[in-house]
Amino acid sequence: MSVLSSDAAAGWHALADRVLTGHALTVEEGLAILHSSDDELLDLLSATYRVRRRHFGHKVHLYFLQNAKSGLCPEDCGYCSQSKISDAPIPKYALLNETKLMEGAARAVESKSRTYCIVASGRGPSNREVEHIAKTVEKIKSTYGLHICCCLGLLEPDQAKRLKEAGVDRINHNLNTSRNHYPEICTTHTYDDRLATLKTCKDAGMELCSGLIVGMGETERDLVDVAFELRALEVKSIPVNFLHAIDGTPLEQKGELDPRACLRALCLFRLANPTVEIRVSGGREVNLRSMQAMSLYAANSMFVSDYLTTKGQPAEDDFRMVEDLGFEVVIGDHEAYEMWKASRMEAEAVTV
C-alpha cells in the first residue's frame, strides 16, 4: 500500500478519485491492489464501489448461458472439461437445433436475463454451423428481443459478418490468461489467434466480450497484464471467472481460491477498466462462497443459473442476493416476447 498512501483508506479512495477523473491504472498500482492486506479489503472495496456506482449505479445485468454444443473439442485447454485431453464425464452433443436454442432463450427471459449467451465448443464453427446460429438468432431477436452474445471459438471474417447481419450484438472470446502464461494453458492455438478473432469481430461491428480465468497458476503480474490488455482492446464486457477445478482435467488438483483474493482481482479489473461491464462469472459459488454478495461492489453483472458443464446456484438465490444488497436487476427490453406471448394466448383462447 506504500505506493499509494501511508493511510490505507485514504490511499484507496485517492486512487478511486484519480480513476474517476480519467487516470489509467499503472502496473505498480495494479500490483498494490493484489498485494493489499485483509485489513485493507473493506477500504479497497469501498473505493472500488465508488467507481462502479459512478458508471453503473445500483444496476445488475444478468446473463443466461446456453451450452449449445458440448464436448467434442480438438483443443487442449487445460482448464476445460470439454477439451480433447479431458476425461471429465460430461454430456457430449452436436450443435442444438432451433427448438432447443429457442427454449433456452425463453428460459433466459424467465430468469430476468438481459443477455442470452450461445456457446459452442470447438476450435471454431463450420460455415454451416454459423448459418444455423445466424438464422436462429434472427428468430430469437424477433420473438424475445434479447441481447445476444455468441462464443463460438476462432472466427473468420465472413463468419463474423454473417453473425453481425443476423443480429448478434456481442462476441465472447476470452483471453483466459496473459500472453506470458498462455503456453502453460493451451498449445493447440496461440494467444495471437485469440487476438486475431477479437479484431475480426470488432471489424465486423460487434461488441467485444473478453475476460479470463483466475487461479490457473498465473502470477499477480499476469493478472495485471490481462487487465491492461483488455483495456487496450476496448472491450465492452469482462467476465472474470475463477477456476472451478474439474476432475479429469489437467488442472484438477488446483484447490479452491481464497475468496478475499478473488475480491481483490475483481477490484483490479474494475479500477483498470472503470467504464466496462465487469461480470463475476464461472466459479464464483465455489471460490467466493459466503462472500459472493461482496463481489457486486466491484462487478455489475453476473451469470444466473448454470454454466457450461458445472451447476450454478438457483436463480432465486441470485435474485435474493441482489435484492439484499439494495441493488436492482436490469430487465431487458422484451417487448417482442410480450407481443408473442399475447398472440399465443389469444390463439389458444380461440382454439378453446
Degrees, nearest 5: CA angle 173-311-126: 35
Active-site residue, from 52, 73, 264, 267: 73
Cβ atoms within 10 Å, residue 183: 11
279 is known as an active-site residue: yes
Residue 259 and residue 285: Cα distance in Å, rounded?
A: 10
Cα torsion angle, 219, 37, 312, 166, sign: negative
Active-site residue, from 194, 270, 279, 284: 279
262 is known as an active-site residue: no
73 is known as an active-site residue: yes
77 is known as an active-site residue: yes
80 is known as an active-site residue: yes
209 is known as an active-site residue: yes
Q: Count Cβ neighbours within 10 Å for each residue of 101-116 and write b for 16 or more, e otherwise.
A: bbebbbbbbebbbbbb
Active-site residue, from 117, 150, 151, 186: 117
Residue 136 and residue 204: Cα distance in Å, rounded?
A: 19
Degrees, nearest 5: CA angle 84-88-93: 65
**Cα 164 to the chain's mean position, in Å?**
20
Active-site residue, from 80, 150, 151, 201: 80
CB 75 within 8 A of CB 69: no
Active-site residue, from 151, 201, 209, 267: 209
Residue 146 and residue 201: Cα distance in Å, rounded?
A: 20
Residue 352 and residue 339: Cα distance in Å, rounded?
A: 20
Residue 133 and residue 165: Cα distance in Å, rounded?
A: 12
Active-site residue, from 149, 186, 201, 267: 149
Cβ atoms within 10 Å, residue 285: 17
Transcribe 69-114 into DSSP letters: EBS------TT-TTSTT-------B----HHHHHHHHHHHHHTT-S
Q: Phi/psi at 317 (nearest 5 deg)?
A: -65, -35
Which three cell numbers mark 98?
432451433
Q: Which residue, 58, 63, 64, 114, is CA-closest to 297?
A: 58
Active-site residue, from 52, 77, 114, 267: 77
Looking at the annotation, which residues are catalytic? 73, 77, 80, 117, 149, 209, 279
